[in-house]
Chain A
Amino acid sequence: MDMGAVVDNDVLDEVVRMLVDVIGEDFLLDVEVGRGTTFNEDLAMESIEFVALAERLQQVYQGRVDFAAFVAGLDLDEIMTMRVGDLVAHIESRLTASAA
């Protein structure tokens, strides 16, 4: 796999695809998801949906990004106040590290 391509531009798109899958397209119709979007305020995401998102992330980035460790280091309030960009940046940094 070309790790560079993934790191360069696809992580945000992949995360947005997962969010649509988890939250539902109807609900996301009026929200433009970008790096500045908050899970809590903008997406009105519920904690159970973050569980589902974490599972999808684990499947796609298995072995390259340890989400269990990432989530274990945060409490639920911290997770919910994160922005999409925080998560994307974490994934990108781990992908870069594992590609190096």
Chain B
Amino acid sequence: MAEVTTRGVRFHVQTMPASSGDSGAPIVVFVHGLVMDNLSSFYYTLAGPVAAAGAESVLYDLRGHGRSQRPPSGYGAADAVADLFGILDALGHHRPVFLVSNSFGGVVALNAALARPSRIAGLVLIESYGPAERTGEWTEDMLNTLSKSALILEYERLADQLSAIGWRQPARQAVTCDALINGTTLLDDLAAVEPIRPADLADVTCPVLAVYGEHSDVLDAGRLLARHVPGCTLYVLAGHAHTVLREGTGELLDVLLGWLSEHAGINAPMKAGV
């Protein structure tokens, strides 16, 4: 079934078995971004090809997101890391896993690698937040955007307005965002998340692939990773901004599969016919 309950929260989980059918296949866990995001952004892009190349893909919705339960609290980095390992334990995955993160998912992935290095085989950080020189630096823009959204959702009754003009899908998404932003401790918890500073980055022992867009406002995080994580490869996608996963999927996939074939032993990708 696609549900795992751990730490008192019900999580929506999807797995795609390795095409090889090998029970010892490498495990790749996908960690998505905030609020509007959920596991579907990986489900339709990277997870299928990764499974086809010989790894088991594991996708889950962070608490409060997608089809996972939305408890009133517990949205900080430490809880997110504990949730991740709780889900892996429930699935019986005790071997080291590869984490592939997008945007805020990077905060979870990096903290997981620092908290329990023996359980992480490698990190692929796509447009990921987390590394910064000082407190507040990395969360400022994101929190401003979310706080503005919170006000619009609450005081302008955005969901009702969208619904009234027949925009049913955005209306539904607005309802979900409103519940998460205004109905939980998410914003406060995020504001309290500490960045991962250069000295901590130096302690990341696993291999890391960082992929960022050339015009991304998060690119500085990628540069910090490249400078301070001993085993980090930085790949910058020309012409792209923060939406690398959605808009640069093909190139990203080539880079990801190439890196995984080197570090996880999956099959090297066939580029022809793509």
Contact = CB atoms under 8 A, between A and B. Distances in A.
Interface in B120-155: none
Given A44-B168, A47-B44, A72-B48, A52 B2 contact: yes
Contacts of A29: none
Interface residues of A, number: 18
Nearest to A77: B44
Interface of B: 2, 12, 14, 16, 38-41, 43-44, 48, 61, 66-67, 168-169, 171-173
A92 B67 CA distance: 29
21 contacts: A27-B172, A44-B169, A44-B172, A46-B40, A46-B169, A46-B172, A46-B173, A47-B38, A47-B40, A47-B41, A48-B40, A48-B67, A50-B40, A51-B40, A52-B2, A55-B2, A55-B14, A71-B48, A72-B48, A75-B44, A76-B40
A27 to B, nearest CB: 8
Interface in A4-55: 27, 40, 44-52, 55
Interface majority SS on A: helix, strand, loop or mixed?
helix
A48 B173 contact: no
B66 A68 contact: no
Given A44-B169, A72-B48, 16 more contacts: A27-B172, A44-B171, A46-B173, A47-B40, A47-B44, A48-B38, A48-B67, A51-B14, A51-B39, A51-B40, A51-B43, A52-B12, A55-B2, A55-B14, A68-B16, A71-B48
